[in-house]
Structure 1
C-alpha cells in the first residue's frame, strides 16, 4: 500500500477519535494525513471541496453521488405521472404537459444539486419533494379548483416568502414558536397521504373524477396493475431492508420491463392494461421531446396571473401559507438530520448550513417558474453519505446525472404509473417511522397527530390536516391548563386556520 492510500485508510478508520477531538483538531489531523493528487485538475477539485479538511476520498465521493441518484431517480417518473393529471384552470385547455414536468424536474434538480455542491459543499441532493407534489397538484390544482396555473403561482409566491424567511431572523422565530410535536404530526400525516395516493394509483381504490374513493376498485378490471404495483412494492421493501443501494430504482426498472412486455403483447383494448397504457410499445412515440409542451406549461402559468378566479379564491392565500410552512419545516428537519449524520462522519458540521437552506428555498422558486412542483432536500442523500460522501462533489455528480437523464426521457415515459406508485407507498412507510418520536402519552400531541392524519386522508387535503394539527394542539393545551405555554404565534395560526375553514365553506359547490 502506498503512502497516500495508507494515510487515507487511517483517516477512514479514526472516526472513533471524534468524541475526544474538537472540530479544529480533527481538521488538522485530516490535513496532516491527506496527500493531494499529482494530477493538476484532480488536485484543484480536492482543494475546492476541502478534501483535506473533511478527510474525503475522490472515489467515495463519486460512488456516493451515484448511489444517491439511483436511490431517488424514481422521482423523474413519479412526479410527472402524478402532476400531469392536473387540468388547466381554463376549461377544455387540457392537463399539464407530461414532458414539460419531466424536463423542468430534471433541469431544476440538476442545477440545484450542482449549486448545492459548489456553494454549500455538502453531499445533499435536491429534487421535487414527495408530498409537496401531491399537495400542489391534487389539493390546490384539482380539489382547490385553481388548475395547474394557479398551483404554480401559489408555489411561486410561497417561495418568495420562503426565501425571505430563510434570509432573515424570522426563520429562528418560526422554529421556536411551533412545537416539534406539531411538525412530527404534519410529517406523519403527509407520509400516510402519499401512501394513500400510491395505492390509489396502483389501482386498488375506486376513483371519481380522479379523486380516490373509500372503496375497493373493480379488481377484475384492475388486477394486472394491482399485481404489478404490489410486487414492485414488495421488491422495493426486500431490497431496501437488505440495504441494497438504489433499491427503489432497481425495483421500478425491473418491474417496468415486465409491464412493458405485458402492455405491448396483450390486446390494446383489454381492461387489464388500462392503467398500463404508457408502457405499450405499440404507442411509443420514439425519441421525441415535446419542448412546445414545456413552453405551454410555462406561458399558461404566467398568463394566469391575470385570472380573477385565482385571486378571489381563499384557497390561494391559505395555500401560499401552507406550502411555505411545509417547505420550511421539511427543509429544516431534513437538513438537521443530514447535519447530524455528516457530523458523525467528519466532526466538521455542527450547525445547519445557512447557505443550504437559502439554496433550498431558491430551488422552490426556480421550480415554480419553470413549471414543476417545489423542490426539497432528499432523504435519500443519506444513502450516499453512508457510502462515504462527505463533500459537495457528490451533489455535483447528482446534478450531472439529473441533466443527463433528460436525454433518456422517452425511456422514462414508458414506465407506467402503477409501478412508480409503489415508490409513493414506500415513502409513506419510511415517513411513518417518525411516529416513534411522538409523545403519545401527552394529549396535546396525541390528539393533533391523530386529527392531522385523519383529516389529510379522509378529506384528501393536506392543508386540512395541517390546520387540524394546529387547532387540535391549541385546544388541548387550553383544556389541560397549559395555555400559557403556547407561543402566541401558534394561537394566531390556529385562528387563521379556523378562518380558512369558514372561508372555504363559502366557495364549495
Structure 2
C-alpha cells in the first residue's frame, strides 16, 4: 500500500512538477477544493438562467458540471496552470436574454453560435492569434488587469452578500444589522485572521465554518439530502447541431457569434493575465508561458460545452481563491474539475454552500490582487491614466473585457499623442480599431 502511495505521488510530481513550483499534493488539493467552493454557485445559476431560454434545467446542470470538469482538467493537464473553467457569467445571460428572449431565436440557435465560437477559437489558438493578443498587452496594463480583477471579484462578493446594494446614490451600504450580512462580516474577519496567522487552508476553513454556523443558526438552508440522481443530458445534448443551414449562415448568426467571440476573448485574456500575474506565473518579460495550451483549454471547453448543452466555457477569476491558498500547478485545476464531477452525485451538499461563506473569500482575494497597484508608476500619466481606467471600469462596468478595452484605447491614444511611439505596436493599434468598431456596431 505504501509503495502504491509513493508511486502515485511520483506520478503527480512528474505530471505537475510540484517541487519545481514549490508546492505539494496537499496544498494543491486544498486549493482546488477552495476554488470549487467559490465557483459552485455556477451549477445552480447557469441552469436557472438557461432554463429561462426554454432549456431543461436538470440537463443544463449536468452539462455545466461536465463541461467544467473537462475544461478544468484540460487546463491542468495541458497547461499546468491552477486556473479552473466553467460556463461564464454574463455570456449565459446574453445567451438567454438577448439571443433567445430578445432576438426571438430558439436555444438551439444560441448553442450553435457557441459551438461556432469554440471552433473559431480553436483555429485562432492554432494560428497563435490569441497568444499574440496576450503578448501585446503592455506590462503596466497587465498589473492593472490584476488589480482590476481584484476589485471586480471583491465587488461581486460585497454585492452578493448585501454589504453594498442599489441606492439613491447608485450604490449604498446595505443593512449591516441583517443577520446574513453580519454572518458575512464575521466570515471576512475569520478568514482574515486565519490568513494573518498563515494557517494553511484559511479560505476553506472559513467557508466551512461559516456554512456550519449559518445552518446551525437557521440563517441558511440545510442540504436537502446527501446523494441525488444525475439529471439526464438528453434534452439538450447535441442541440447545437439541430438547426438548419439557412440559420447557420444568417446575419443574426454572424452578429451573435461575433459578440460571443469578442466578449469571451477579452474576458479570458484578462482572467489569464490577471490570475497568472497574482500567482507569479508570468516570465521575466511579462509574458505568460504556455499561453497557447491555456487558450486551447478554453477553446476546447467551449466547443465541448456547446455540444453537451451549455453556454460559453471560460476561465474563472475565482481561481484566484485557490491561488491564494497556495495552488500553483494544474493539480489545483484538476482537483476543481473532479469536484465538479462529484457534484453530479452530491448536488444537494455542494449547492447548499451559502453566499455568506463564499463572499468573504472573494473580498479577501480582491485585497490580495489589489497589491499589483504598487507595481504601477502613477507619476507617469500616460501609464497611470490607462491603468486607472482599466482598474476602475472592471467593477463599474461589471466587465473584465470593458476594463481592458478602456485601458488599451487610452494607453495607445495617449502614447501616440505624446510622441511615445516606442511603447505602441501595430497590434495595439489594430485592437483599438476593433474596439471602436465594437462600440459602434455592438451597442
Q: What TM-score do the two structures reach when normalised by structure 2?
A: 0.75
SS at match of 1:215: strand
- Matched residue SS, 1:216: strand
* 1:250 alignment partner in structure 2: 205
Q: Does 2:405 align with 1:467?
A: yes
State whether structure 2 residue 231 is matched by structure 1 residue 291.
yes
Deviation for aligned residue 1:308: 10
1:345-424 matches, within 5 Å, as 352=290, 355=293, 358-359=296-297, 361-370=299-308, 371=310, 374-376=313-315, 378-379=319-320, 382=323, 399-424=337-362
CA pair 314-445 structure 1, distance change in 2 beyond 3 A: farther
Q: Compared with structure 1, are the counterparts of its residues 456 and 258 closer, same or farther at alpha carbon in structure 2 (3 Å cutoff)?
A: same
> Could you tell me how far 1:228 is from its partner in structure 2?
1.8
Q: Which of these two proteins has the greater Rg computed from alpha carbons?
A: 1
Asked if 1:193 is matched to 2:152, the reply is yes
Cα deviation for residue 473 of structure 1 reads: 1.4
Q: How does 1:268-283 map to 2 (within 5 A)?
A: 276=220, 279=221
In 1, the alpha carbon distance for the partners of 2:292 and 2:95 equals 32
State the partner residue of 1:173: 132
- Please state if 1:216 is matched with 2:179: no
Give secondary structure in 1 for the equivalent of 2:198: coil
How far residue 366 of structure 1 moved from its aligned partner, in angstroms, is 3.3
- Comparing 462-471 with 250-259, greater Cα deviation is found at 462-471
Within 1, Cα distance between the matches of 2:249 and 2:312? 22
Paired residues of 2:203 and 2:361 also in contact (CA < 8 A): yes
SS state at 1:477 partner: helix
Match among 60, 84, 89 for residue 127 of structure 1:
84
Shift of 1:479: 2.3
Aligned residues: 428
Does structure 2 conserve the Cα–Cα contact (< 8 Å) formed by 1:158 and 1:323?
A: no
8 Å Cα contact 1:449/1:469 also seen in 2: yes
Per the alignment, residue 428 of structure 1 pairs with 366
Q: Which residue of 1 aligns with 2:37?
A: 74
Alpha-carbon distance in structure 1 between the residues aligned to 2:158 and 2:280: 33
Deviation at 1:369, TM superposition (A): 4.2
Matched, 1:86 2:43: no
1:436-473 per-residue CA deviation (whole Å, 9 max, x = no partner) reads: 22232222222222223443333434443332122211
Would the aligned equivalents of 1:245 and 1:383 in 2 still touch at CA under 8 Å?
no
Q: Distance in 2 between matches of 1:218 and 1:354?
A: 43
Q: Which runs of 5+ in 1 are unaligned?
A: 1-36, 264-272, 344-349
TM-score (norm 1): 0.67
Query: Is the contact between residue 128 and residue 292 of structure 2 (CA under 8 Å) also seen in structure 1?
Result: no
Q: Against the structure 1 CA distance between its residues 494 and 226, is the aligned structure 2 distance closer, same or farther, given a 3 Å change threshold?
A: same
Q: Distance in 1 between matches of 2:174 and 2:406?
A: 33
Q: Does 1:228 align with 2:151?
A: no
**Looking at both structures, which has the greater relative contact order when contacts are Cα pairs under 8 Å and sequence separation is at least 6?**
2
Distance apart, 1:403 and its partner CA: 3.2
1:474-485 matched pairs, under 5 angstroms: 474-483=412-421, 485=423
Q: Which runs of 5+ in 2 are unaligned?
A: none
